[in-house]
Structure 1
Amino acid sequence: MVLLSETITNALVKLPANKTIPAIIVFGDSIVDAGNNDDITTTLARCNYPPYGIDFDGGIPTGRFSNGKVPTDFIAEELGIKSVVPAYLDPNLKTEDLLTGVSFASGGSGYDPLTPKLVAVISLEDQLKYFEEYIEKVKNIVGEERKGFILANSLFLLVAGSDDIANTYYVLRARPHYDVDSYTTLMVNSA
């Protein structure tokens, strides 16, 4: 038996009366991945198994690289958008989730184009391709005008870089011809 719970989200962040944030759109790495890596069979960068998710609603692993929510879930909740931001690649993604925002983030990704290749995850470039697909889906659901409103007024977040520095640069030493200054310059130029 599967129990579903509905969460009512009340905004704690007070926006000006004439301002609406209809959706949250997320790109990045494991800090904000809501489960996009779950079905990537070529990567070990997954967390769809215990103890991940033990503090999440229902105590189940969600593919989030945490024991519960990730930072973008808290941000979306504080803004009154929704209680959790779903992964774009979640096979159970609902139409209404597209209209209020999704996460394209992939644990193990980064600004350096080499970083996602090393662990076989979704690059930022591929996240943008999924975003283009997302835009078309939203347009097909609500039309051009509402799609334009959603995109113009949404909160866009890009959270990445820790995998670049920690894994690609220091642990794997995959960029041996770079010092920290030149490597962070590479990251900024790639961003």
Structure 2
Amino acid sequence: MKVEKSRFLAYKSDLDLPIQQLFQLSKSAKSVIRLALDIGGGTGTFAAQMKLQNVTVITTTMNFGAPYNEAVALRGLVSLHVPLQQRLPVFDGVVDLVRCGRAVNRWIPLTAMEFLLFDVDRVLRGGGYFWLDHFFSKRMDLDKVFSPLIGKLGYKKVKWAVANKTDSSGVKHGEVYLTALLQKPLTK
């Protein structure tokens, strides 16, 4: 729990986006964050940290190997059991921020990823933010597949940080992490 309590609060590398920095970026763009959707939110730590900032976060998670939905609910947060291939159960253009956690990565079939990105676009309001948090893929796939796919949205890049994915033996299988904060245009 000690590690969980400090998640999303500290800046340790270029891949991190602390909540206070997120709010500073939002404030400088004269945008507000009141309602968010956390896709692949695990035990709801992001939602818990945002609740302290008076932001309501709906967390989607799956119970793979652990009762994640129950953990989110036990924290007094809103949890939804939604597979990535299902349309998000949210009205069009009402969400201020969509965060995709580590559950969204290169293992998702490309057609499902494209569906997810365009559904995120559907639920985000104009001026809202899309945050890909520690998305991992092969560097070549990031350059040739995922970056162009993300680019189809036509969003403004607020933050785009790429770093090698490493383990104790060094660079891991030519994979990289991407943290991207993108802002949807007010009108399309």
The answer to whether TM tops 0.5 is no
Larger fraction in strand = 2
More helix by share: 1
TM-score of Structure 1 vs Structure 2, range by shorter chain: 0.3 to 0.5
Which one scores higher on RCO, CA 8 angstroms, separation ≥ 6? 1
Larger Cα-atom Rg:
1
